[in-house]
Amino acid sequence: MYLPLASQQTGRRAKAAIGSVATRLRQLAWAGTLLLLVSLVGPSVLAQGLPPELAAAWRNTRLPESALSLYVKEVGTVQPMIAINATESRNPASVMKTVTTWAGLSGLGSDYVWRTTILAKDGGRVDAQGTLLGPLYIKAGGDPFLTMQDLWGLLRQLRLRGIKNLTEVVVDRSLFGAVTIDPGAFDGAGDRPYNASPDAMMVGLGALRLVFQPDVAARKWVPVIDPPLRGVRVEGDIAWKDAVCPGSPSVSTQVVPSGDEFIIRVSGAAVGSCGEFSEYRLAFSQKTYFEGLFRMLWKELGGTLAKNVTEGRTPASAKPVVWHDSRTLGDVIRYINKHSNNVMARTLLLTLGAQQSGQGATSATGAAAALALLQSQGVDTRGWVIDNGAGLSRYSRLTAAGMGSMLDVAWRSPMMPEFISSLAIIGVDGTVRSRLRNGDAQGRAHLKTGTLRDAKALAGYVMGASGKRYILVKFVNDERAVAGGRAFDDALVSWLAQR
């Protein structure tokens, strides 16, 4: 049909209008779908980057975003609120301890204890002079918290049973394999307790306590070595200062081998009004330390030892005489996480390996056991390298998203209270006791920190002002990570605590 020109223009305008309306309807439909999606999964799926206030705090670090892995999620939800480089494998430093402690807790149970057993032929028969017939065997149980007082108590129980004279002592360390490390290999600070080697028969972490006692009349500091083992002595002096105590004294110590002994050289100054203070240092290997301590305590208890303290296996015919059970694992992981104890974390990983694979556990078998356990729980461990379980490593790797999934699993577990209670409370205790004190965030976050030369990390749970709980995982790997990280961490925790 032919239409006049005016009618054709009117028709084109009508078609254009109809097209415009159709486009608008499609836009409205898409918007409706988008709003429905937001209502179902929350706004976090749409904006997983940093909010403005945190973006400003990150810019102040002067670090590239490529160095940051961040994962933040409300407990009980699916989508993260913030996910930045969350699947990148990063060095987590001491945050690795949360992996080890959760694997240990869920794999061994909160009531697990380490048992150190002393055995002998026929259960410890003695002659008329109190001499034990045959060797005394010490079956090491890998107790990470065995103290000098605990060992003294064990030996005292032997004396109460009439055992006085020993011919030979055999220490059975077969629970662990070849796990001895060079304490100085990581950073050259071989005398620092955080570098202590793990050992199945470890007492007091193998560290000497150097006590500085004040002599007010002489205005001098008197050093005392505890325990007073043979083969170690102190040289040098700590200068006496008069002032109001400024806090914990800081002195310099250096452990130097000299022939068959060790010299601890001390220097520096300390304020007299601070009173007695202590420093802990490594000098001996774990085996040498244990032998010296055993000899000292046994002699103090009136016992004798004819031969040596050697290493070997406990025969099947030997019978238990006395034993000591450690603190429960639920108690031990609080010390590991709140105080970031490396050698205890290493020992826990080895214990998990021994329980899963049998005697002769190594860091490798412990790591394999932990990974298998976590994977069975649905934790995403892709890109993970557990290494020694303590995080004192250049090779350890975790992902922020995978770590977040582990924290989510832990939250939904019946053992959640024990695990969370092991983490340091912001502004209250542990490694974060001095952080965000007297502010809104104080007491609202249970966290584990991690710091190495080029890695800074933070992970745990934060309770917001609304009562909601948030999972937080942050890793920064960069040569300047330590210098610029703390302010951003505090801003992140405060932001979540105020939600």
pTM of the model: 0.88
Buried b (16+ CB within 10 A) or exposed e, 370-400: bbebbeebebbbeebebbbbbbbbeebbbbb
379, 402 in Cβ contact below 8 A? yes
At 212, phi and psi to the nearest 5?
-105, 110
pLDDT (average), residues 177-191: 95
Task: Provide the Cα torsion 270, 274, 276, 279; round to 10°.
Answer: -50
pLDDT tens for each residue of 146-168? 999 999 999 999 999 999 999 99
Q: How confident is the model at residue 27 (pLDDT cuts 50, 70, 90)?
A: very low
CB atoms within 10 A of CB 331: 15
Q: Where in the chain is the domain with CATH 3.50.80.20?
A: 115-182+286-325
pLDDT (average), residues 312-320: 96
With a cut of 90, say whether residue 415 has pLDDT above it: yes
Distances (CA, A) of 126 to 123, 154, 166, 204: 10, 18, 10, 30
Q: What was the pLDDT predicted at 49?
A: 83
Give residue 10's Cα distance to chain centre.
Answer: 78
DSSP structural state of residue 146: -
Q: How confident is the model at residue 1 (pLDDT cuts 50, 70, 90)?
A: very low
Q: What was the pLDDT predicted at 250?
A: 83
Question: In whole numbers, what is the pLDDT of the chain averaged over residues?
Answer: 90
At 240, phi and psi to the nearest 5?
-90, 130
With a cut of 50, say whether residue 122 has pLDDT above it: yes
58, 65 in Cβ contact below 8 A? yes
CA-closest candidate to residue 324, choices 113, 169, 173: 113
Q: In this prediction, what percent of the chain has a pLDDT beyond 70?
A: 90
Burial grade of 430 (CB within 10 A; 0-12, 13-18, 19 or more):
buried
68, 474 in Cβ contact below 8 A? yes
Q: Where in the chain is the domain with CATH 3.40.710.10?
A: 45-111+328-497
With a cut of 70, say whether residue 38 has pLDDT above it: no
Q: Choose the CATH number for 115-182+286-325 among 3.40.50.720, 3.50.80.20, 1.10.540.10, 3.40.50.10190.
A: 3.50.80.20
Q: What was the pLDDT predicted at 485?
A: 75
Q: What was the pLDDT predicted at 103?
A: 98
> Residues 6 or more apart from 492 whose CB is under 8 A from it?
54, 57, 70, 72, 458, 472, 474
Q: What superfamily does domain 45-111+328-497 belong to in CATH?
A: DD-peptidase/beta-lactamase superfamily (3.40.710.10)
Give residue 401's Cα distance to chain centre.
Answer: 19
Instruction: Look at phi and psi of residue 231 and say left if phi exceeds 0, alpha if psi is from -120 to 50, else beta.
Output: left
pLDDT tens for each residue of 343-356? 999 999 999 999 99
pLDDT tens for each residue of 56-99? 999 999 999 999 999 999 998 999 999 999 999 999 999 999 99
Radius of gyration of the chain (CA): 30
Amino acid in position 362: T
With a cut of 50, say whether residue 301 has pLDDT above it: yes
> Residues 6 or more apart from 436 whose CB is under 8 A from it?
426, 427, 442, 490, 493, 494
| Residue of 480 and 336 predicted with greater confidence | 336
Instruction: Give me the helix-helix angle, 96-108 and 342-357, nearest 10°.
Output: 40
Q: What was the pLDDT predicted at 321?
A: 97
Q: Which two tokens stand for residue 169?
A: 């002592």
CA distance 441 to 152: 44
207, 227 in Cβ contact below 8 A? no
Q: How confident is the model at residue 21 (pLDDT cuts 50, 70, 90)?
A: very low
Buried b (16+ CB within 10 A) or exposed e, 466-481: eeebbbbbbbbbbeeb
